Copies of this chain bind each other. A is one copy, B any other.
Amino acid sequence: MSPSGSGIVVQKYGGSSVSDAAAVKRVAQRIVRTVQAGNKVCVVVSAMGDTTDELLDLAEQVTPTPPGRELDMLLTAGERISMAVLAMAIANLGHEARSFTGSQAGVITDSSHGRARIIDVTPGRISTAMDEGAIAIVAGFQGVSQDTKDITTLGRGGSDTTAVALAAALGADVCEIYTDVDGVFSADPRIVPTARRLDTVTYEEMLEMAASGAKVLMLRCVEYARRYDVPVHVRSSFSDRTGTTVTGSIDDHPDGTKEADMEQAIIAGVAHDRSEAKITVVGVPDVPGKAAAIFNEVARAGVNLDMIVQNVSQAQTGLTDVSFTLPKTDGPTAMNTLQAAQSEIGFARLQFDDQIGKVSLVGAGMRSHPGVSATFFKALADAGVNIDVISTSEIRISVVTHADKVDTAVRAVHTAFDLDADQVEAVVYGGTGR
C-alpha cells in the first residue's frame, strides 16, 4: 500500500511540481527513493509550469478557432517535453526511465477532442518496462482515439484521471497524486486558516466535495478511483508529509464490520464554489410540462444544470418561477437559448445573477446523524447568511447565497461542526496546482 512496500506505485506530478529544471530534478529524486524502497514505479506527469498556456497563446496567434484535433496535437507537446526531461533527470541519477505518450501507454479514448473519455487502458508497454527494471514515465492528460487513431486530450483534471486509470489497469497498490498542498482539508485554508488536513476521506465524500467546488481532485478522477477501487493518496511534492488517503466507502469495508464507522468523523469538510450563476425564469404558467420544456431547451444547448428550485405557485395568477444554477461560463448560451424559446414556453422574463456562491457541508456520517442539518442552518442564521436555494444528498447539504457571504458562511459552518484544528496545518508550497 505504501512507497515503503514492494508493490506497484503510480505517482502523478502536476505542472507546479515540474515547473522548471530544478523542480524536475527534485521530483526525479523522489521517484528514485520510491524505487529504492523496493517498488515498481509508473509516473504520470503534466506539462511543465506555463507550457500549456504558452501553447494556447501560440494557437491564438494564428486562429481564433483552432480545430479540436489540432489543438490536441499542439497541447500534447507539453507533456512530451516534461516526460522526456523527467526521464533524463532520472537517468542522470543512475536509474533507467522510459517515457511513453498516452498512445504508447495504451490510453484509449473516444474521439471527443479536448474532453475525451477513457474507454480502455492497455498498458502492455508500461508493464514490460517496469518488469525490465525501468521506471515508466507516462504523459498525462492525453490518449489516442479508438476510432480515428487521432491524439486526444482528456480536458481538465485529465492527468489525475490518467494516473488513476493506469493504476487500475496495472493493479497498482496506490495512486499518489502529488500537488502543491499537503492533502485534502476540511475547508479552503485561504478562507479558514485553521482548516484541518483529513487523514482519510471516502470516495463518496471526495466526490461530493469535488462536485461542490473543492479543487484538489477533479470529479472524474475520483469517479474512476471509486469504480476501480484504487486508493488515492493526495500529498505535496514539496514536503515529505503524509497526505490524505481517498479510499473505499464505509459500506464497502472489506471485513463487513462497521468498525471504520466508529472512527469516522461525522463531517469531512466544508466546500464552496463561486463558479456558478443562477438563472430565474419568471412567470412560468404552472401547468405540467413547462418545467420540463425549460430544462429540455437548456440541456439541448449542452449546459449542465446543478441545482433547481421551483417556487410555490401563486394561486391568483397560476404562474410560478423556476430557478437553476449552472456554470457561469454557460450563462450566455443558456440565456440565449431560453430567450429564443420564450414564446414557445410562455414565460414572462429571465433573470441572470452571477453574484452567487454555493456552500456545502459533506460527510458520510450525516446519514446516521439526523441533527446535522439543524446545526448547519442555525450556524448560517446566526452568522446572518441568507439562503437562496437548498439542495441535499444523503451525505451533503448545499446552499446558495450571495457571493459576498460565502467566506462568512464557510467559517461559521466549519466552527459549528468543531472542525477547526488547534493550529494552522495548511501550507501552500507552489503556485497554482493543475
A residues apposed to B, CB below 8 Å: 21, 24-25, 28, 55, 58-59, 61-67, 69-71, 73-74, 76-77, 80-81, 83-85, 87-89, 91-92, 97-99, 104, 125, 149
Contact = CB atoms under 8 A, between A and B. Distances in A.
Instruction: Across the A-B interface, give the 3 residue pairs with the lowest CB-CB distance, nearest first.
Output: A21-B61, A74-B84, A63-B92
Contact of A89 (B62, B104, B125): B62
A125 B91 CA distance: 35
A62 B55 CA distance: 22
Nearest to A21: B61
9 contacts: A24-B62, A59-B85, A62-B89, A62-B92, A63-B88, A63-B89, A73-B83, A74-B84, A77-B77
A84 B150 CA distance: 13
A149 B104 contact: yes
Q: Give the one of A24, A91, A149 with max B CB within 10 A.
A: A91
Nearest to A63: B92
B87 A73 contact: yes
B84 A71 contact: yes
Contacts of A92: 62-65
A83 B77 CA distance: 11
B73 A59 contact: no
Given A70-B88, A104-B149, 14 more contacts: A21-B62, A25-B62, A55-B81, A58-B81, A62-B85, A62-B88, A63-B89, A65-B91, A65-B92, A66-B91, A67-B87, A69-B98, A73-B87, A77-B77
Contacts of A24: 62
A188 B97 CA distance: 45
Q: Give the one of A64, A67, A70 with max B CB within 10 A.
A: A70
A208 to B, nearest CB: 38
A71 B61 CA distance: 28
A87 B99 contact: no
B58 A70 contact: no
Nearest to A97: B70
A199 to B, nearest CB: 35
A124 B378 CA distance: 68
Contacts of A25: 62
Contacts of A73: 80, 83-84, 87, 99
Q: Give the one of A63, A71, A73, A80 with max B CB within 10 A.
A: A73
Nearest to A81: B77
A281 B92 CA distance: 39
